């Protein structure tokens, strides 16, 4: 590996010195920028994959960042190398690193739990390592678990889906706050934003609605990598939750990734980051159409096309036709809808025939899943006023959509009969403010990797 191109974000001077002059360090502190160009790195790594993840660089440097330390990693099935080897298995067998614990997020380390569940604390049968559950914890509980594990450095490597309500980034946040509290290093092994990370979109989380689907005020589709988010979190939010301290954060960036690069362009294998995220195509619609989780329509769980299929027993052929007209009237591009009938196998309307639509992304560059979801909500309420409802008995309350979207704006606006354009216009000011903040923490720039 060409270590002169190994970028370190937030690394201490001691860590940079220990790594030797061949490693170029990023500026320490908040508005961190890459201090070394990596545009040549892609050509220095011939053949597929086009992108090398942070773990590839971490391992290629002999795990020097955690040399002599008991190391624990927050991981799930997506923490793999390009040849599909799980990183925990690889590190467990490596003499250069002392991996002593694993931490599991929502769905668990090995990915066996459905939405809203973890695997608990257990022993991994393959490696014999202790696996600690971090799903659903808060800062004090995370501090306690990390302290109990005895690790002296904590890492994070999980594939994100690019949406604020995808909970892995909040497990990362809690890990950062715990590391800051305990005074141990935190290392983020960066991975691609599967949506390309080109532009943020959607409303910003309002503090009064903070939950595990949105702990801090970022927008719904943040357009950042996990490493960039970690820089922002550590600078903006961690001190308030860690007694005024920031974490000793290091981001190991990718080689070869550039803004606007979709996942299928990276050459990396896709592993389902959660049971209902089967393909990168799912991620393209998830950050918007997951809002239907907060309604009495099925968001496609229990089908083979979660989040692409949105259905309910009361929906008929009219919705697809109306939606396509709504898209045209609002200048929404990049998608079309097809009438569809399904019978979900679990979750909402299990074993009940439902009508609805399948969302097709025809141009992902112009497609905005959040604006599209708003158009869908507006038309569903208009066509089926006596049947459409917020929440679903026994699964989600009527205000769950507020937590997903970050405020009550979408719900109250749809109920008030506002148009798609009026609703989308309602969050543009807060989105612009977040976009300015986000820009200070970007590692990867347009057209550069």
> Would you say 242 and 181 are in contact if contact means Cβ atoms under 8 Å apart?
yes
Q: Does residue 103 sit in the same domain as residue 157?
A: yes
Q: Does residue 14 sit in the same domain as residue 113?
A: yes
Assess if residue 436 is contained within a domain: no
Q: Does residue 328 sit in the same domain as residue 373?
A: yes
Q: Does residue 230 sit in the same domain as residue 368?
A: no
Q: Look-up: residue for tokens 């200070």?
A: 440
> Would you say 149 and 133 are in contact if contact means Cβ atoms under 8 Å apart?
no
Record the tokens describing residue 295, joined without a space: 């309604």
- Indicate the residue among 236, 253, 270 that finishes a domain: 253
Q: Does residue 32 sit in the same domain as residue 112?
A: yes
> Would you say 373 and 292 are in contact if contact means Cβ atoms under 8 Å apart?
yes
Query: What CATH number should be reported for the domain holding residue 68?
Result: 3.40.50.12170
Spatial strand order of the sheet with 309-312 comes to: 309-312, 354-361, 335-342
- Indicate the residue among 253, 272, 291 that finishes a domain: 253
Q: Does residue 334 sit in the same domain as residue 423?
A: yes
Assess if residue 47 is contained within a domain: no
Q: Which helix (H) or strand (E) holds 51?
A: none
Per the structure, the complete domain to which residue 373 belongs is given by: 280-427
Number of domains into which the chain is organized: 2
Q: Does residue 233 sit in the same domain as residue 326?
A: no
pLDDT for res 27 = 27
Instruction: Indicate the pTM of the whole model.
Output: 0.89
Q: Does residue 249 sit in the same domain as residue 284?
A: no
334-362 in b/e form (b: 16+ CB < 10 A) is bbebebbebebeebbbeeeebbbbbbebe
What are the helix (H) ranges across 158-207? Answer: 168-182
Assess if residue 329 is contained within a domain: yes
Assess if residue 212 is contained within a domain: no
Assess if residue 236 is contained within a domain: yes
Per DSSP, 208 falls in state G
Q: Does residue 286 sit in the same domain as residue 186?
A: no
Assess if residue 161 is contained within a domain: yes
Query: What CATH number should be reported for the domain holding residue 359?
Result: 3.90.1150.140
Q: Does residue 71 sit in the same domain as residue 15?
A: yes
Q: Going residue by residue through the chain (449 aa), what tens digit of pLDDT does each one get?
A: 322 233 343 333 323 333 332 223 332 343 333 323 333 333 344 455 899 999 999 999 999 999 999 999 999 999 999 999 999 999 999 999 999 999 999 887 886 667 766 767 889 999 999 999 999 889 999 999 999 999 999 999 999 999 999 999 999 999 999 999 999 999 999 999 999 999 999 999 999 999 999 999 999 999 999 999 999 999 999 999 999 999 999 999 999 999 999 999 999 999 999 989 999 999 999 999 999 999 999 999 999 999 999 999 999 999 999 999 999 888 899 999 999 999 999 999 999 999 999 999 999 999 999 999 999 999 999 999 999 999 999 999 999 999 999 999 999 999 999 999 999 999 999 999 999 999 999 999 876 55
295 forms bridges with which residues in the sheet?
Answer: 390
pLDDT for res 192 = 98
Assess if residue 272 is contained within a domain: no
CA dist 25 and 353 (Å) reads: 57
* C-alpha torsion sign, points 144, 147, 149, 153: positive
Q: Does residue 287 sit in the same domain as residue 156?
A: no
102-112 in b/e form (b: 16+ CB < 10 A) is bbbbbbbbbbe
Assess if residue 396 is contained within a domain: yes
Residue 115 exposed, middle or buried by CB count within 10 Å (0-12, 13-18, 19+) = middle
CA dihedral 212, 430, 159, 82 (to 10 degrees): -170
CA dist 298 and 9 (Å) reads: 41
pLDDT for res 23 = 29
pLDDT for res 113 = 62
Record the tokens describing residue 55, joined without a space: 């773990």
Q: Does residue 304 sit in the same domain as residue 388?
A: yes
244-266 in b/e form (b: 16+ CB < 10 A) is eebbbbbbbbbbbbbbbbbbebb
């Amino acid at each position: 590996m060409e270590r002169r191109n190994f970028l370190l974000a937030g690394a201490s001077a001691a860590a940079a010195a220990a790594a030797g002059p061949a490693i170029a360090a990023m500026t320490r502190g908040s508005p961190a920028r890459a201090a070394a160009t990596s545009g040549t790195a892609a050509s220095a790594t011939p053949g597929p994959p086009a992108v090398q993840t942070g773990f590839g660089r971490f391992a290629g440097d002999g795990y020097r960042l955690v040399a002599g330390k008991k190391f624990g990693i927050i991981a799930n099935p997506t923490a793999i190398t390009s040849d599909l080897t799980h990183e925990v298995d690889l590190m467990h067998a490596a003499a250069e690193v002392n991996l002593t614990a694993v931490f599991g997020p929502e769905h668990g380390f090995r990915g066996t739990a459905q939405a809203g569940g973890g695997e608990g604390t257990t022993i991994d049968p393959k490696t014999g390592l202790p696996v600690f559950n971090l799903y659903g914890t808060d800062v004090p509980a995370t501090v306690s678990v990390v302290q109990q594990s005895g690790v002296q450095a904590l890492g994070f490597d999980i594939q994100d889906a690019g949406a604020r309500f995808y909970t892995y980034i909040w497990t990362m946040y809690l890990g950062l706050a715990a590391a800051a509290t305990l005074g141990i290093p935190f290392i983020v092994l960066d991975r691609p934003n599967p949506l390309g990370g080109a532009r943020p979109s959607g409303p910003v989380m309002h503090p009064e609605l903070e939950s595990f689907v949105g702990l801090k005020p970022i927008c719904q589709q943040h357009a950042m990598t996990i490493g960039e988010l970690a820089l922002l979190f550590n600078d903006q939010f961690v001190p308030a939750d860690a007694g005024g301290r920031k974490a000793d954060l290091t981001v190991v960036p990718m080689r070869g990734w550039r803004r606007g690069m979709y996942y299928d362009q990276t050459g990396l294998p896709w592993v389902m980051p959660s049971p209902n995220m089967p393909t990168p195509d799912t991620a393209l619609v998830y950050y918007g159409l997951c809002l239907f989780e907060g309604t009495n329509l099925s968001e496609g769980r229990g089908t083979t096309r979660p989040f692409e299929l949105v259905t309910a027993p009361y929906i008929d052929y009219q919705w697809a036709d109306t939606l396509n007209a709504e898209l045209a009237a609002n200048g929404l591009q990049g998608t079309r809808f097809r009438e569809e009938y399904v019978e979900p196998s679990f979750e909402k309307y299990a074993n009940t025939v439902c009508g609805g639509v399948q969302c097709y992304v025809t141009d992902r560059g112009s497609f905005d899943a959040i604006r599209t979801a708003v158009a869908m909500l507006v038309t569903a309420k208009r066509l089926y006023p006596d049947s459409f409802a917020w929440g679903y008995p026994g699964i989600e309350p009527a205000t769950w959509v507020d937590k997903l979207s970050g405020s009550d704006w979408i719900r109250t606006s749809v109920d008030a009969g506002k148009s798609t354009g009026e609703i989308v216009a309602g969050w543009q000011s807060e989105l612009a403010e977040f976009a300015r903040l986000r820009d200070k923490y970007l590692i990867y720039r347009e057209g550069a990797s």
